[in-house]
Amino acid sequence: MRVVIDTNVLVSGVINPHGPPGRVVNAILSEMIIVLYDDRILSEYREALMRPIFGFQRADVDVLLEFLELTGEHAGAGPIAVVLPDATDLPSLEVAVAGRADALITGNIKHFKPRRGQHNIHVSTPAEFVRRMA
């Protein structure tokens, strides 16, 4: 299964491995799912994970992101004719479309309901995705 992981899910899953985001991260680490990404997404992951509030060590973040690059799939994404409520979420949707993702997993589903245009990507919360995997 090929997915795009919104940054909020990755960070939440690393912070708390016991909830649904943690189960998504476990599925990534167990290579049960393939993470689609591009350079913009990896950069956003790094920026978020390195925020001092979380206290993650740079070496640990580097290892996680290297693992995502090695086991995931780079998806060269171009612009799509969709306007989202939060424009900063557009790269995730573009990668999902380009990589033909089975799902885009986010804690903010409403951010992926287009204001203009449409897409055919299944947008799922971590809890919904975990239920689908079971």
Report the CATH number at residue 52.
3.40.50
Q: Determine the residue type at 78.
A: G
> CA triplet 17, 108, 122: central angle to 5 degrees?
95
Provide the pLDDT for residue 7: 97
Average pLDDT over residues 44-68: 97
Average pLDDT, the chain: 94
Element containing residue 74 per DSSP (H, E): strand 73-74
Q: What pTM value is reported for the model?
A: 0.93
Number of structural domains found in the chain: 1
Domain that holds residue 32: 2-133
* C-beta separation of 104 from 92 below 8 A: yes
If you ran DSSP here, which 8-state letter would residue 112 be given?
Answer: G
Residue 79 has pLDDT above 90, yes or no: no
Starting at the edge strand found earlier in the chain, the sheet holding 2-5 runs 73-74, 34-37, 2-5, 103-105, 123-124
Provide the pLDDT for residue 134: 83
